[in-house]
Amino acid sequence: MDFTNIFFLLYLIGTLSDFLLDQILEAGNFIHRNKHGREIPPELEGHIDEATLCKTVAYKNASYKLWVPRHILSTALNLVLVLCGFYPMIFNAIWKWTGNVYLASLLFMLLASLPDTILDLPFSLVREFKIEKDFGFSKMTFRMWISDAIKSAVLSAVISIPLICIALVLLSHAAAWWWILLGAVYVAFSFLLSYLYPVLIAPIFNKFTPLEEGELKERLESLMEKTGFHAKSIFIMDASKRSGHSNAYFTGLGKNKRIVLYDTLVNQLSTDEIEAVLAHELGHYKHKHIIKRQCVTIPLIFAALFAISLLIKRPELYSAFGFLEKADVSRIGVELQFIGLFLIFLAFGSFLWIASLIGNAASRRDEFQADAFSGKICGGGKNLITALIKLNKENLSEICPPKIYCVFNYSHPPLTERIKAISAATNNTAKNFQEET
């Protein structure tokens, strides 16, 4: 292993800087929460009490105290595995045993992910069966938890194994053009998963029941017709069998497009509030947020794969992590090029927070637009505001975390900012209406 190698230095700098950044942000949020988390903002006077805020602080503090050792141990494990040569050791052993590029690559990906999976196991158990249960969220049984883990593992294998094999075939036979073909396959596969998710994947974990006839269904169908959104149906998901958390979303493509409401959300909100929440989700559709995101994401996928196609030919990438002792390009066969994909993520993965920073900013902008759309189509933002307050209380979400923390970690604006923006948009609409009349 070459400690002066540029790829190793990028890995080391990225890992340590990402670790320090996360620790500083979380510690800053912890301090801010304990100092200001029990204060009731003017926007929430009469809507929330100190007892709820105290419970929120306790819930978030419990999660933070579990996150700290998990984050430290995970980073330490990551460094130890790289520095002790774990990855080239298991690859060489697997390659010597199998001599088959497909089997060796699949086994390598499995064994490379195993240490962190094992490390996460006790923390996942504590999070689910201690923290989530103590605060009244988790309804999970140990048998259900095991069942979900097995289902997730099988589903992950069913999805990832074909993609890995396709990548290997293209690396072997498509020469300089493999990255274009792999990008096309990945994009097509993603759309296929989006199409199949509502009917094949989601029902593996939850039961989806069509919304019963009545006022709520009539209101929501009228809303969809008004916005031009055509969905197969509106479904209630039995989220309460696992958790008390609430949500609503639309999913699928084409004829499989559907609206999904958590049963917890239906029980917590009024008909007017559910309509406002759905109007928010339809705001994303009306503003074409998903399409716009895809128009940015898809070119970035091809650009990243092109960069990868250049980097996996560099012998320095492999010598940085102990896969090659010398910069010998002739030894970089298909089996090593595939490992190169893993090594590139190892070297550059800690810098993904930069992309996340940009993505979160775009997502928060989209949320404000969807909120404004909901207020406009529902005749005001009052119902959306009360719905957001209720959901925030029920989910024990933080009301007003530090702005710098939100910039790095929040894909949705915090509650107080959303309330201010919705109120301002509603007031502007009313003012414009008065001026026109």
| Three-class DSSP category at 58 | helix
Return the bridge partners of 209, or none.
Answer: 236
Tell me the two tokens of residue 354: 């930069």
Catalytic-role residue among 128, 273, 275, 281:
281
Catalytic (active site) residue 120: no
Asked if 16 and 334 touch (Cβ cutoff 8 Å), the reply is: no
Catalytic (active site) residue 213: no
- CA-nearest of 316, 314, 313 to 5 is 316
φ and ψ at residue 260, rounded to 5 degrees: -125, 125
Tell me the two tokens of residue 362: 């775009």
Alpha carbon distance 13, 164 (integer Å):
29
Helix (H) or strand (E) holding 277: helix 271-286
Asked if 430 and 379 touch (Cβ cutoff 8 Å), the reply is: no
Alpha carbon distance 277, 219 (integer Å):
12
Asked if 120 and 70 touch (Cβ cutoff 8 Å), the reply is: yes
Alpha carbon distance 205, 404 (integer Å):
36
Alpha carbon distance 54, 68 (integer Å):
21
Catalytic-role residue among 371, 394, 398, 417:
371
Q: Would you please indicate which residues are annotated as catalytic (active-site) residues?
A: 281, 371
